[in-house]
Amino acid sequence: MASKQSANTESRGHTAPVPPEPHENPTVGIAPSREENIGQKRLADFDLEGRVFIVTGGARGLGLSLAEALVETGGKVYCLDREERPDEDWNEAARRAERCGGSLHYCQQDVQDTEGLDKTIEAIADKHQQLDGVIAAAGVQQICPAMKYTHEDITRIMDINYTGVMMTASAAARQMFKYKCHGSMCFIASMSGQVANKGLISPVYNSSKAAVIQLARNLAMEWSPIRKDGTGGIRVNCISPGHILTPMVLKNFEEVPGLREKWEAANMMGRLAETTEFKGAALFLLSNASSFMTGSNLIIDGGHTSW
Ligand SMILES: NC(=O)c1ccc[n+]([C@@H]2O[C@H](COP(=O)([O-])OP(=O)(O)OC[C@H]3O[C@@H](n4cnc5c(N)ncnc54)[C@H](O)[C@@H]3O)[C@@H](O)[C@H]2O)c1
């Protein structure tokens, strides 16, 4: 029995690494003290001036809105996306960025290209000698009955929605450890990681999002404690949105007649969300305002999963 168990356990070294003991490595000092913050500046806990962030899937849609939230509060934000050029919406956001002290940058980068992703993230961190956080929003959806799924389709969706998030997070964590930046990561999961969606057959997308929620808990355990050498102190959380009006969902409406009306009636607000309605949550998670939050999942779904 014991030998079977060890044969199924894979680790990179001779002895399996264990996560740091939080009690011996407490995450203290990641936010300025109350005395330093209060009365100096309005809502100083949310201020991101001088901080550097990466947002995958930032060419459009939800990723772009969340990137803009970080820019509006002073962050230098790099949007990574597989598209050669971002949407026109992105160009407008970049023009607005000039007025608020932050900056918005674009890099074409597919999250499936692990080596390229690693190099892009390393170059950004090296340029600024810091990296303070990541929002992993790149994702794809496919509507397909379970019995018709091909192995290739499952592999592609998981490769982007799950492995892409994991590789983004680990590439960023390597840089944050290198520069001893205590920071925060936010993975864009979905309420579909916890429920099946009425009227939409998407078993693989939904399970990829469940995997992302579970990944966040595990990375939070590994990276939240601050080690004796000053590395660590990276909080990891998820946002699980309900249905949002983005290009991804508008495509779903074209594919499934009547779906929009069905979804609008399925939450307590009687409507779908705008991408801008998640900006506050992203800013909260990436800033000092959430300094005691890690391993959690913020569900923001207009009450969809609450009844
Ligand atoms: N729209 C919703 O209702 C909804 C709800 C819950 C969660 N989400 C999640 O929010 C995130 C953003 O989705 P959206 O609705 O804005 O969709 P979207 O299609 O408008 O945006 C997704 C972005 O990810 C990029 N992308 C896809 N594959 C990529 C890859 N391999 N490498 C790099 N970039 C890649 C796309 O080019 C696009 O810019 C996704 O993770 C999605 O699953 C969306």
Specify the residue with its C-alpha closest to ligand 1, atom 25.
57
**pLDDT at position 12:** 66
- Whether 248 lines ligand 1, by a CB cut-off of 6 Å, is yes
Specify the residue with its C-alpha closest to ligand 1, atom 11.
137
Does a structural domain hold residue 60? Answer: yes
Contact 20, 232 (CB under 8 A): yes
Q: Is 198 a catalytic residue?
A: no
Contact 29, 18 (CB under 8 A): no
pLDDT at 36 over 80: no
Does a structural domain hold residue 35? Answer: no
pLDDT at 9 over 80: no
How is residue 245 written in tokens? 């009006």
* Amino acid code (one letter) for 132: D
pLDDT tens across 115-125, in order?
999 999 999 99
Boundaries of domain holding 92 = 45-240+274-300
Strand-pair partners of 160? none
Does a structural domain hold residue 213? Answer: yes
Cα 19-189-183 angle, rounded to 5 deg:
50
Cα 163-140-191 angle, rounded to 5 deg:
90
Instruction: Round the average pLDDT of the chain to a whole number and report it.
Output: 93
**pLDDT at position 243:** 95
pLDDT at 8 over 80: no
How is residue 300 written in tokens? 């923001």
pLDDT tens across 197-228, in order?
888 899 999 999 999 999 999 999 999 999 99
Domain with 185 in it: what CATH number? Answer: 3.40.50.720
- What is the layout of strands, in order, in the sheet containing 52-56? 103-108, 76-81, 52-56, 133-136, 183-188, 234-241, 297-300
**pLDDT at position 43:** 86
pLDDT at 258 over 80: yes
**What spacing in Å lies between the alpha carbon of 44 and ligand 1's midpoint?**
30
Q: How many domains does the chain have?
A: 1
**What spacing in Å lies between the alpha carbon of 38 and ligand 1's midpoint?**
37
Contact 126, 48 (CB under 8 A): no
Most confidently modeled range among 7-21, 89-103, 135-149: 135-149
CA distance 159 to 139: 10
**What spacing in Å lies between the alpha carbon of 57 and ligand 1's midpoint?**
6
Residue 272: CB partners within 8 Å, gap ≥ 6?
A: 242, 243, 244, 245, 249, 260, 263, 264, 302
* Amino acid code (one letter) for 169: A
Does a structural domain hold residue 215? Answer: yes
Specify the residue with its C-alpha closest to ligand 1, atom 23.
57
Q: What are phi and psi of 280, to 5 degrees?
A: -60, -40
- Whether 60 lines ligand 1, by a CB cut-off of 6 Å, is yes
The one catalytic residue in 78, 162, 209, 279 is: 209
Q: Is 78 a catalytic residue?
A: no
Does a structural domain hold residue 3? Answer: no
Q: What are phi and psi of 73, to 5 degrees?
A: -105, 20
Q: How confident is the model at residue 2 (pLDDT cuts 50, 70, 90)?
A: very low
**pLDDT at position 1:** 41
pLDDT at 7 over 60: no
Q: How confident is the model at residue 290 (pLDDT cuts 50, 70, 90)?
A: very high
Does a structural domain hold residue 77? Answer: yes
The more confidently predicted of residues 254 and 31 is 254
pLDDT at 6 over 60: no
- Whether 61 lines ligand 1, by a CB cut-off of 6 Å, is yes
Does a structural domain hold residue 236? Answer: yes
> Which of 82, 86, 39 has its CA nearest to residue 64?
86
Give the three-class secondary structure for 40: coil
Does a structural domain hold residue 33? Answer: no
